[in-house]
Amino acid sequence: MERQGTPSEHGYYFPAEFVPQEQVWLAWPERPDNWRESAKPAQHAFTQVATAISQHTKVCVAVSPNQYLTAALMLPEGIELVEMPLNDAWMRDIGPTVVMDDQGDRRGISWQFNAWGGAVDGLYAPWNDDDQVAAAICDHLGLDYYRAPFVLEGGAIHTDGEGTLYTTEECLLSAGRNPHLSKTEIEACLADYLSISKVIWLPDGLFNDETNGHVDNLLHVIAPGEVVLSWCDDPDDPQYAISRRALDVLESSTDAKGRRIRVHKLPIPGPLYLTQEEAAGIEPSGGMKREAGERLGGSYANFLMCNKKVFLPLLDSACDQQAMDILQAALPDYQIIGIPTREVLLGGGNIHCITQQIPGALASKQG
């Protein structure tokens, strides 16, 4: 049921990804203008991700009616399929952001979704089915939800669960989202809906990220006052300056609790590029650039934390192990599970982008 008012008014806050989770949602890919070969390779990759998570946590997959049988045949038993209309498969951005109160009661937020930029620079149209997914999932779960009066995506925000929100100016101040709102007004909206008290604005997202620089491709909050940051040591790479500007902000900031922020540098893979063969299998699109030689927004920061597991994209055999080792050292009590996900990357994101967690009802602020 849709609720009036705001989560903040009612005592609900945005919990961190590292609190206990009840389940994880994905959506089934099918767009032939985003996923090559009518999404068959992507469907295999999504199946691998869903299967890996389902071995530890309940998984639900939203699937359009015409893909239901395909998904049912490919996904293992135990994964719940929920039929609903979809435009594409980016569950982080179209699914609900679930907030909770200090008693562990949960409610959802349905952000306004316009395909990362609407008429200005959106990636596809129409997007009306995707805009209804968050409410449909809340109804399925029996969660009340709020309909936010502004455009936002789940991949554009990260939190420590203790009042700090991380985002990028490139994304939240982009012309295609909320041009009628100032930076200060956007901060106020975030406070109303997520009960955060401090926003740490990073200038830019990952180089060539077509979402206008979602923070989840650049950075991941792994503990209160602790993040991993996509890093590049090649001065000739455009990512080099982006990462250093982000580090400057992080090192000169304190979080909502006054802590200095500890930063773990996570090297980017590649750089990686769309091959001729891969590009040939994608149908032309008005909004999405899918040309041979296009640089892909590859990032190891685009992982999912779920119940003491990290589900990490494997993207480059030259540095996959280094990424796993860095995360294992930073998260010694976590199991790091690597999954080959180049096919997900070809569509414009990775494991964090295609998942949305539902925190457990008894999760506390401390996790």
Cα separations (Å) of 356 from 40, 107, 122, 222, 292? Answer: 22, 14, 21, 16, 30
Cα separations (Å) of 144 from 135, 201, 291? Answer: 9, 30, 42
What type of residue sits at position 243? Answer: S
| Residue partners of 292: CB distance under 8 A and separation at least 6 | 274, 275, 276, 278, 279, 280
Active site (annotated) includes residue 353: yes
Whether 123 contacts 288, CB under 8 Å: yes
Query: What one-character DSSP code corresponds to residue 111?
Result: E
Task: Check 60, 189, 306, 353 and give the catalytic one.
Answer: 353
Cα–Cα distance, 357 to 154 (Å, whole number): 11
Nearest to 202 by CA among 186, 194, 213: 213
Cα–Cα distance, 154 to 247 (Å, whole number): 22
Nearest to 115 by CA among 46, 52, 169, 34: 34
Catalytic residues: 353
